[in-house]
Structure 1
Amino acid sequence: MVEYIEFGDIFNIAGVQNFAHGCNCAGAMGKGIAVQFKERFPEMFIKYKALCSENKFNLGDVFDYKYENGIVFNLATQRSWRTKAEIHAVKHALRGMLDIAEKNSITEIALPKIGAGLGGLDWGDVKNLIEEEAKKHPQISLHIVLNFKNQPLLNSL
């Protein structure tokens, strides 16, 4: 199931302790929601940066970071912060995330419009891909925040 939340904060959805976001493969989390992930999970950022510097985090990969209350899914959607996200990488990473979630009995994941913000992809294309992949895992609910609180509406539904 996919739930779209027009305005909100992925970190403040009742009952949700697992989060996902699109990342680059260069070890940078300096803009957008990635900054919030870096600040909330500093140990995750250190491990992510190390994976990138060792070329062990590539397009389409998933770095699942377990923290005390859940898992953060770092989805490798773009090569660097200077390049756009790649739709095939989003698809592969989503599949990997959903497979990991299923194996770990995770039923709720909150995420932003991966690949469609700073990643530059068309939200309609990404939305269709998410819905297609989510149908294969009906026991997992994806809560997608379309716009962060206090920000203007950006390419909604």
Structure 2
Amino acid sequence: MQVEKGDLIQKARAGEFDVIVHGCNCFCTMGAGIAKTIKQVFPAAYQADLATVAGDKTKLGSYSAATVEAGGKPLIIVNAYTQYQWRGAGFLVDYEAIKQVFRQVKQTCAGKRIGYPAIRAGLAKGDWAKITAIIDEELAGEDHVFVEWEK
């Protein structure tokens, strides 16, 4: 895993990635965190989320996606369903869902430059060290970058 500091959305808009992956809940809200910014900056990603069934627990471990133009080239935005809901105390992250999503991303996006934030380590209260290990294992051999938020 490579680590860069900065703004994932800004880097994506500049064409630095072919794919960005961010975590979503299964209720088609994209109402907080980086998902809210993606919803505003790349509305096609939100439309892809809305095309799924809100509240469907079977979405865990899958994703919806939209392709937009950014930096003069295609950018695939992956809405990764890695937590069921956003309400409640305690851990909301689903580690198995993270594993399944990144396995699928590798299968469908092999050879592309993939960027992502600290998926499920913020609002979903996940353990970033555990999440990092999962991502590293599932994206082994790929060009993937954790963009650590920094203005």
TM-score, normalization by structure 2: 0.84
Mean Cα displacement is larger for which, 63-72 or 26-35?
63-72
Q: Do the aligned partners of 2:21 and 2:77 also contact (CA within 8 Å) in 1?
A: yes
What stretches of structure 2 of length at least 5 have no aligned partner? none
Q: Do the aligned partners of 1:4 and 1:143 also contact (CA within 8 Å) in 2?
A: yes
The residue correspondences of 1:7-156 to structure 2 (distance < 5 A) are 7-13=5-11, 15-53=16-54, 55=56, 58-68=59-69, 69-82=74-87, 84-102=92-110, 106-135=111-140, 138=141, 140-146=142-148, 148-150=149-151
What amino acid does structure 2 have at the position aligned with 1:28?
T
The 3 A distance-change label for structure 1 pair 33 and 11 is same
How far has the Cα of 1:56 moved from its partner?
Answer: 8.7
TM-score, normalization by structure 1: 0.81
The 3 A distance-change label for structure 1 pair 133 and 144 is same
Name the SS for the 1:51 alignment partner.
coil
What stretches of structure 1 of length at least 5 have no aligned partner? 151-157
The 3 A distance-change label for structure 1 pair 132 and 110 is same
Q: In 2, Cα distance between the equivalents of 1:56 and 1:130?
A: 22
- Residues matched between the structures, number: 141
Structure 1 runs of 4+ with >4 Å offset: none
Q: In 2, Cα distance between the equivalents of 1:107 and 1:4?
A: 16
How far has the Cα of 1:128 moved from its partner?
Answer: 0.9
Name the SS for the 1:118 alignment partner.
coil
How far has the Cα of 1:12 moved from its partner?
Answer: 3.3
Name the SS for the 1:109 alignment partner.
strand
Mean Cα displacement is larger for which, 64-73 or 125-134?
64-73
What do you get for the CA RMSD once the two structures are aligned?
1.9
